[in-house]
Amino acid sequence: MNKYLSVFLITFFAISFFSFGWLSHTAYTPGKKIKKISYLERIQRKKELHVVLLDAPSSYYVGVDGPQGFEYDLLKEYAKHLNVPLKIETAHTIKEALKLSQDIDIDITSASLTKTAKREKKLYFGPSYFEVQEQVICYRGMQQKSNFPRDVEDLAGLSILVGEDTSYQETIKALQNDGFDINATYSSSLSTEEILEKVSKHEVDCTIADSNVYALNLRYYPEIAMAFSISGREQLAWLLPDEATELKADLYTWLNDYNQQGKISQLKDHYYSYVLFFDYYNTKMFYKRMKSRLPKYEKLFKEAATRFGIPWTLLATISYQESHWNAKAKSFTGVRGLMMLTRHTAKLLGVKNRLDPKQSIVGGTRHIKQMLKFIGSDVKGENRLKFALAAYNIGMGHIRDAQTLAREIGLNENIWSDLKVVLPLLSQKKYYSGLQYGFARGSEPVKYVEAIYNFRDILENQMQSLSK
């Protein structure tokens, strides 16, 4: 092979390799590269939001009106935002919820989880949605003795039970490391609510629970009492899969918008406002009268509920708030009977004998139904019933005055959480003087509505417990 042929072949192969490489490079496009989808995209592709929820009043439970709970309502709204249905896995304890969160199919775990420093080292949290404090909760009867604790040192010698893998266990361990004498045991099978029930029966002296959990369960277990707060303010947050950064960012944006719209405040008001009106004696008497008086009239309430389309438990608790289920009740103003009708109202409703239980219940229910018709169409959902009940107590004219005042001071006149802020102002001259119906004791309908819903919640919880 001569010199020129060798040079030619070398040059030819060099150009060929170069051309092949160049053509291969130009044929490659980045768009064809396999890209790992984000958790947010995965949710949208599988067309469902798969969540773990703690089966507890503070998170999620199935009530008379179906699924409910503060955390459930929040996640249901987020699922609507994503335009996908909500798929729920329930956990009985926090330990169980943490275990379920490790499933690769779970998108969000919502189980009243406190964002502690220890947990943040090994878990990936999303945005915070509620602020709480850990509280020491003890048997109320201990207040009559000298052993009801007032601080951490007083816990020495008391029996304390908390759930395993909870933030409460972390708190106790930290205090024990600091030298405090605390006799604590940890349960892997009992929920915080079940432990609170044990405290209420004095099967154990004390436990620790978040302030929201205590507040919601106080009405079910009136024999428990808060001794003292054992932590500062802490945040409840959702638990997310590792590195679900896009999901976390979307949750932050959505939650911020939801909060700015005032919807979180409405949810908090719906689930927690009744706590402000807790009265130990009244609650104990309600439990007693549910057994001794309600059975006489339960059938009549259910018949009226079917006829008028209003929940019987609501009718029953309206009657309790009015008369304590005393068919012969009479006030100093002359209102009488189970539903405490005035003579004038009874006549308009066709009630001939206010002391007749059936006539009183039917008349009172018809009156509430009439109130509902007068509520404006802009008042939606549960707000309508609360507006109607407030009108039943104080009169529709004052409700309309309160709505006018709400608009004037920049509040939403169509939601109960804002209207109940305005109603007490009707007793102040600087507010009522310019209104059509004038002075009113506006704080009374607020207490009236809150009490009715508090008693209704207790009644429905009791009905569910008996049916299990």
Tens-place pLDDT, residues 158-190: 999 999 999 999 999 999 999 999 999 999 999
User: In 10 A of CB 408, how many CB atoms?
Assistant: 13
Q: How far apart are CA 379 and CA 330, in angstroms?
A: 33
> Which range among 240-244, 292-296, 427-431 has the greatest average pLDDT?
292-296
Q: Which of 13-22, 27-36, 241-250 has the lowest mean pLDDT?
A: 13-22
Fold match flag (40-128+236-271 vs 134-232): yes
pLDDT in tens, 283-295: 999 999 999 999 9
The half-sphere exposure of 47 on its side-chain side, counting CA atoms within 13 A, is 0
Region 114-132: mean pLDDT is 93
Q: What is the pLDDT of residue 47?
A: 94
- Amino acid of residue 464: Q
Q: pLDDT grade, residue 33 (50/70/90)?
A: low
Q: What is the pLDDT of residue 34?
A: 54
- Kindly tell me if the per-residue pLDDT of 20 is higher than 60: no
- Kindly tell me if the per-residue pLDDT of 18 is higher than 70: no
- Kindly tell me if the per-residue pLDDT of 69 is higher than 50: yes
Q: How far apart are CA 380 and CA 267, in angstroms?
A: 14
Q: What is the DSSP letter of 426?
A: G
Q: What is the pLDDT of residue 3?
A: 52
- Kindly tell me if the per-residue pLDDT of 149 is higher than 50: yes
Q: DSSP letters of 92-122?
A: SSHHHHHHHTTSTT--EEES--B--HHHHTT
CATH of domain 40-128+236-271: 3.40.190.10
Using a 10 angstrom Cβ sphere, with 0-12 exposed, 13-18 middle and 19 or more buried, the burial of residue 317 is buried
Q: How far apart are CA 135 and CA 234, in angstroms?
A: 12
Q: What is the pLDDT of residue 146?
A: 84
Contact 59, 96 (CB under 8 A): no
Q: Is position 322 annotated as part of the catalytic site?
A: yes
Which comes out higher in pLDDT, residue 35 or 79? 79
Contact 263, 77 (CB under 8 A): yes
Mean of pLDDT over the chain: 90
Q: What is the pLDDT of residue 352?
A: 95
Q: What is the pLDDT of residue 17?
A: 44
Contact 399, 391 (CB under 8 A): yes
> Of the listed 71, 234, 322, 450, which one is catalytic?
322
Q: What is the pLDDT of residue 109?
A: 96
- Kindly tell me if the per-residue pLDDT of 15 is higher than 90: no
User: In 10 A of CB 13, how many CB atoms?
Assistant: 10
- Kindly tell me if the per-residue pLDDT of 150 is higher than 50: yes
Q: What is the pLDDT of residue 27?
A: 46
Q: pLDDT grade, residue 359 (50/70/90)?
A: very high
Region 442-464: mean pLDDT is 92
Q: pLDDT grade, residue 30 (50/70/90)?
A: low
Q: pLDDT grade, residue 356 (50/70/90)?
A: very high
Q: What is the pLDDT of residue 468?
A: 64
151-160: b (≥16 Cβ within 10 Å) or e: ebebbeebbb
User: pTM of the entire structure?
Assistant: 0.80
Q: pLDDT grade, residue 274 (50/70/90)?
A: confident
Collapsing DSSP to helix, strand or coil, 87 comes out as strand
pLDDT in tens, 184-219: 999 999 999 999 999 999 999 999 999 999 999 999
CATH of domain 281-467: 1.10.530.10
Best CA proximity match to 366, nearest among 345, 382, 352 = 345
Q: pLDDT grade, residue 61 (50/70/90)?
A: confident
Q: What is the pLDDT of residue 9?
A: 47
Q: What is the DSSP letter of 58?
A: T
- Kindly tell me if the per-residue pLDDT of 54 is higher than 90: yes
User: In 10 A of CB 101, how many CB atoms?
Assistant: 23
* Domain residue limits, the chain: 40-128+236-271, 134-232, 281-467
CATH of domain 134-232: 3.40.190.10
Give the percent of the chain with pLDDT over 70: 92
Q: What is the pLDDT of residue 28?
A: 45
